[in-house]
Amino acid sequence: MITVIGLGFVGLTTALGFSKKGFKVYGIDIDENKLAKLKAHEVPFYEPHLDVVLAEQLGVNFILDADFNDAINDSQAVFVCVGTPSQPDGSADLTYLLKAIEGVLAVGNKNFQTIIVKSTVPPSTISRQVVPFVKEKSAADQQVGLASNPEFLREGYSWEDFIEPDRVVIGVEDERSKEILNRIYSPFNAPIHYVTFNTAEFIKYLSNTLLSTMISYSNEMSMVADHIGNIDIPSAFKILHEDKRWAGNPASMSGYVYPGCGYGGYCLPKDTSALDSIAEAHGYKTKMLSANLEVNEDIKNFLVNKVKSELDTSERIGILGLSFKKGSDDVRLSPTKDIIQRLLDGGFNNLVAYDPLANKTFAEEYNFPIEYAGSLNELVDQSGALLLLTAWDEFKDNADLIKQKKLFDFRYAL
């Protein structure tokens, strides 16, 4: 039996993935509105395939209405998939993680149980913070194992990534927990790498910071090229990608080595900041990571300054794309948010935006004084100039329509 605490993007995918493999899974979340939607077979965020699997598994292997104590007492494995947001100094906020673990321990399950941290946490979190916390909060007769099991899920491809993983990384330092996790993951027929807690946590950050660094490198090169002049920036990068070493589908690594308007979403900004912060806390001042973060801000200022140099503040500007990447309605730390804020700060108050999926979520997340168009045609009709900030296929398919207006293609997509 498995319990998954936190039914967001990672937690829901994890719970449905294990239930699809035949395990009984209890889903736990403190958000009653989210639970109500899930019970009505409605996934509260956009992610392909999850709605179909939810309808298939709910009430069969996936249980949402179990009492918390009963679920914990019935589970050998408890996956914690709660948020670990960035604090003002860039470090990870572990409040929700520790609160969830404390709740599990408070049930007082007398059988051996493994608590698996699937939330992204900086290296040394389990060894330096979670282990002492569990010792402090658990009863003398409780038998608790710990593990780190980082996720490698891409938004838009989470189901495929979970069901057919290229590798499974498990930080575990006791044999009983290792046996439990081996049983859970054996049906996936993927390489399983058992490592120390610190190593598992580091691998996750190693992955995400490499991706963010490639994006910042590409954006810095685009700024260099722009200053040199007479360089076809998108062609230069596309020809770079013809090197066979970049091949791969879908979402190949070449997608990260291509200029744009900065990286966003929940993982890359947060994890890059967190690793930079944890390195400094351990006595090392990073150079590449700090520069990576700096470039991710510089590119937004650079692009907004281009708009300021070519448009009057009275111009009606259409914003093409609000989500941080195509195929997702996720607007957390979207580069579009920062660019809109900088435009507003610069006196551009006549903005209208359109996104195929994220109009509603963006409006709810950010209280900007802007308008929203219901379609691409409506946006183009209303705008004097356009800023392309998310490379949706709909925009590429309607390039002729978009190019009727003055276009700032900040994704180099058209």
Chain-centre distance for alpha carbon 26? 23
Domains 2-195 and 232-409 agree in fold: yes
Confidence check: pLDDT of 211 > 80: yes
Query: What is the structure's pLDDT at 407?
Result: 96
Whether 159 has a pLDDT exceeding 80, the answer reads yes
C-alpha dihedral sign at 63, 64, 67, 73: positive
Average pLDDT, the chain: 92
pLDDT, one tens digit per residue, over 129-157 is 999 999 999 998 899 999 999 999 988 89
252 alpha-carbon distance from chain centroid: 17
pTM: 0.78
What CATH class is the domain 232-409? alpha beta
Overall average pLDDT of the 213-222 stretch: 88
Distance of alpha carbon 113 from alpha carbon 181, whole angstroms: 11
pLDDT digits (tens, 9 = 90+) for 352-379: 999 999 999 999 999 999 999 999 999 9
Question: How do beta strands 113-117 and 77-80 pair?
Answer: parallel
What's the gap between Cα 140 and its chain centre? Answer: 38
The pLDDT tens digits for 270-286 are 888 888 888 888 888 88
CATH 3.40.50.720 fits 2-195, yes or no: yes
- pLDDT in the model for residue 250: 46
81 is catalytic: no
Structure-model confidence comparison of residues 9 and 246, the more confident one: 9
Domain boundaries, the chain: 2-195, 232-409
229-254 confidence digits (pLDDT tens): 898 999 998 998 888 777 655 456 66
Question: Is 107 within 8 Å of 71 (Cβ atoms)?
Answer: no
Lowest mean pLDDT across 179-188, 214-223, 334-343, 369-378: 214-223
Q: What is residue 276's predicted lDDT score, i.e. its pLDDT?
A: 87
> What is the pLDDT averaged over residues 310-334?
93
Give the mean pLDDT of 337-358.
95
Catalytic residue among 117, 181, 267, 299: 267
